[in-house]
């Protein structure tokens, strides 16, 4: 497995004035190509620390790629650090910089030429790297078995240069697979998929999110393909379809496959489920809409929930949830409707219905199914989990949907 180190250079990152995004973005590309990202480091604009960072990784990784410190101001010290590391002088790369100057309009050329005295400087033992988006040359050199690539820190410039230099030549091997699994805790999933997780020729990463776990498999393409198939055989009902990475995508794919429409009635989630679905382009073909009915009165006025039901059983009950789902299906003229009503907290809970209690109903024609769950955590956690569980329930229901049932 090839190895790479990514280095972000800049006092502004260490001080928190700017956040680091370049290295994180490129790390994902290398990871997806089966490379090992040995480290992501953030270092200051300091000649000696930059040199020390280079020295530590020479001969240990295939590539060191840096971001930042190539601007025209006094605090941009990366090119000087490279020259000191290589033990040579800086020189102006006129031919390489002329390509940058020629890209600008006549009115800007003189301004860009004024930056030549610094941004066109390249160590004598290095080569310039063209910058198609900005006015600072990148730098490329090799020491022992390690190639060094020094790019500007402006995100548009960094990404354009990295894509040109790496995506077509270095990052060209697809030796990883991902499977997204819903309804499983990370700890239980490891036990269930022990044969895959313990395979010595596979590198397995487990990336949990709310009600969804991404299992990333890296290694030889044939081995990773078989491992993915094994995961799908072991958990046939819980793996999202191939090429699908979110529950909302999975829901819309099922709606599209079954050629039916859906809608939502949301209380405690306040439209979060509907928002997730409508984030995806083309959702309007199968998602009819959502009704946010946060108050009891809105449940009565918008969905036709019987107020006597709320008085007798409470808004957080299967009786209320079922009437909400039926009302949503009628109001939205949808084949399927999901309702959700719960107590997100921090107040409002009782001994019988503690904070975190959430009821769901799914209505299709005359059929109504209801379930309730209890979620722990803060208000934000409860609402996020309620949203994700609602999408999961809708997806599972749709997978078994046949002839209107």
CATH of the domain at 349: 3.90.950.20
Residue 269 lies in a domain: yes
Tell me the pLDDT band of 205, cut-offs 50, 70 and 90.
confident
Identify whether residues 222 and 304 lie together within a single domain. no
Residue 241 lies in a domain: no
How far apart are the C-alpha atoms of 21 and 12, rounded to whole Å?
13
How far apart are the C-alpha atoms of 389 and 276, rounded to whole Å?
12
Identify whether residues 16 and 163 lie together within a single domain. yes
Identify whether residues 152 and 185 lie together within a single domain. no
CATH of the domain at 110: 3.40.980.10
Q: Which residues pair with 264 in a beta bridge?
A: 290, 338
Containing structural domain, residue 352: 247-399
Identify whether residues 43 and 84 lie together within a single domain. yes
How far apart are the C-alpha atoms of 182 and 238, rounded to whole Å?
5
In this prediction, residues 79-91 reach a mean pLDDT of: 96
> Domain end: 167, 194, 222, which one?
167
In this prediction, residues 184-200 reach a mean pLDDT of: 90
In this prediction, residues 334-344 reach a mean pLDDT of: 98
Closest CA to 38 of 2, 5, 1: 5
Identify whether residues 97 and 218 lie together within a single domain. no
In this prediction, residues 352-357 reach a mean pLDDT of: 96
DSSP letters for 177-235? EEEEEES--HHHHHHHTHHHHT-TT-EEEEEEETTEEEEEEESSHHHHHHHHHHHHHHS
CATH of the domain at 182: 3.30.70.2860
Residue 97 lies in a domain: yes
Pair 165, 129: CB distance under 8 Å? yes
> Domain end: 145, 167, 189, which one?
167
Tell me the pLDDT band of 114, cut-offs 50, 70 and 90.
confident
pTM score > 0.75 for this model?
Answer: no
Identify whether residues 276 and 332 lie together within a single domain. yes
Residue 200 makes CB contacts below 8 A (sequence gap 6+) with: none
Identify whether residues 221 and 130 lie together within a single domain. no
Pair 75, 45: CB distance under 8 Å? yes
Identify whether residues 282 and 385 lie together within a single domain. yes
Q: φ and ψ at 19, to 5 degrees?
A: -100, 150
Place of tokens 């994700």: 388
Residue 254 lies in a domain: yes
pLDDT at residue 172, rounded to an integer: 46
Residue 404 lies in a domain: no
Say whether pLDDT at 170 is over 70: no
Tell me the pLDDT band of 203, cut-offs 50, 70 and 90.
confident
Identify whether residues 351 and 370 lie together within a single domain. yes
Residue 264 makes CB contacts below 8 A (sequence gap 6+) with: 273, 274, 277, 289, 290, 291, 328, 337, 338, 339, 340, 390
CA 332-276-273 angle, to 5 degrees, is 55
Residue 308 lies in a domain: yes
Identify whether residues 395 and 287 lie together within a single domain. yes
pLDDT at residue 75, rounded to an integer: 87
Residue 326: enclosing H or E segment and its boundaries? helix 318-332
Residue 19 lies in a domain: yes
Look over the chain and give the mean of its residue pLDDT values, rounded to a whole number. Answer: 92
> Domain end: 234, 257, 280, which one?
234
Identify whether residues 205 and 256 lie together within a single domain. no
Say whether pLDDT at 169 is over 70: no
Tokens representing residue 344 in the block: 């997100």
Residue 25 makes CB contacts below 8 A (sequence gap 6+) with: 159
Condensed to tens digits (0 to 9), the pLDDT of residues 253-310 reads 999 999 999 999 999 999 999 999 999 999 999 999 999 999 999 999 999 999 999 9
Q: How many structural domains comprise the chain?
A: 3
DSSP letters for 219-277? SSHHHHHHHHHHHHHHSTTTBPPTT--SHHHHHHHHHHHHT--EEEEESTTTTHHHHHH
Condensed to tens digits (0 to 9), the pLDDT of residues 214-228 reads 998 887 888 888 999
Q: Which residue has the higher pLDDT, 201 or 316?
A: 316
How far apart are the C-alpha atoms of 274 and 264, rounded to whole Å?
7
Residue 130 lies in a domain: yes
pLDDT at residue 173, rounded to an integer: 47
3-class DSSP state of 119: helix
In this prediction, residues 53-59 reach a mean pLDDT of: 97
Pair 345, 353: CB distance under 8 Å? no
Pair 270, 383: CB distance under 8 Å? yes
Pair 338, 264: CB distance under 8 Å? yes
Q: Which residue has the higher pLDDT, 88 or 134?
A: 88
Instruction: Tally Cβ neighbours within 10 Å of residue 116.
Output: 19
Identify whether residues 90 and 67 lie together within a single domain. yes
Least confident piece of the model among 114-123, 196-205, 243-252: 114-123
């Amino acid at each position: 497995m090839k190895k790479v180190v990514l280095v972000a250079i800049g006092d502004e990152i260490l001080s928190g004035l700017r956040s680091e995004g370049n290295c994180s973005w490129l790390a994902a590309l290398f990871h997806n190509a089966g490379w090992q990202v040995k480290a992501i480091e953030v270092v200051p604009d300091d000649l000696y620390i930059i040199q020390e960072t280079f020295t530590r990784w020479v001969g240990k990784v295939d590539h060191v790629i840096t971001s930042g410190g190539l601007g025209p101001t006094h605090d941009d010290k990366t090119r000087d650090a490279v020259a000191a590391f290589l033990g040579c002088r800086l020189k102006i790369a006129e031919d390489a910089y002329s390509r940058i100057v020629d890209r600008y309009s006549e009115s800007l050329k003189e301004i860009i030429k004024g930056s030549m005295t610094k941004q066109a400087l390249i160590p004598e033992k290095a080569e310039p790297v063209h910058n198609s988006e900005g006015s600072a040359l990148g730098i490329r050199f090799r020491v022992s078995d390690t190639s060094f690539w020094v790019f500007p820190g402006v995100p548009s410039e960094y990404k354009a240069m990295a894509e040109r230099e790496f995506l077509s030549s270095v990052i060209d091997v697809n030796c990883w697979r991902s499977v997204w699994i819903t309804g499983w805790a990370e700890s239980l999933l490891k036990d269930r998929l022990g044969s895959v997780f313990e395979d010595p020729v596979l590198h397995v990463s487990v990336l949990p999110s709310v009600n969804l776990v991404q299992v990333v498999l890296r290694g030889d393409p044939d081995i990773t393909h078989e491992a993915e198939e094994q995961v799908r055989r072991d958990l046939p009902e819980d793996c999202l379809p191939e090429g699908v990475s979110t529950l909302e995508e999975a829901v819309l794919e099922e709606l599209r496959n079954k050629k039916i429409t859906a809608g939502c009635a949301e209380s405690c989630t306040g439209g979060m489920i509907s928002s997730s679905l409508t984030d995806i382009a083309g959702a309007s073909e199968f998602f009819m809409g959502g009704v946010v009915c946060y108050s009891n009165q809105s449940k009565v006025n918008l969905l036709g929930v019987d107020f006597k039901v709320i008085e007798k059983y409470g808004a957080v009950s299967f009786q209320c949830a079922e009437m909400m789902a039926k009302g949503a299906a009628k109001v939205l003229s949808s084949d399927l409707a999901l309702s959700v009503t719960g107590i997100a907290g921090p107040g409002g809970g009782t001994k019988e219905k503690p904070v975190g209690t959430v009821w769901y109903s799914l209505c299709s024609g005359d059929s109504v199914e209801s379930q309730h769950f209890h979620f722990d955590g803060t208000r934000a956690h409860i609402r996020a989990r309620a949203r994700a569980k609602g999408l999961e329930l809708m997806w599972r229901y749709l997978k078994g949907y046949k002839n209107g049932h």
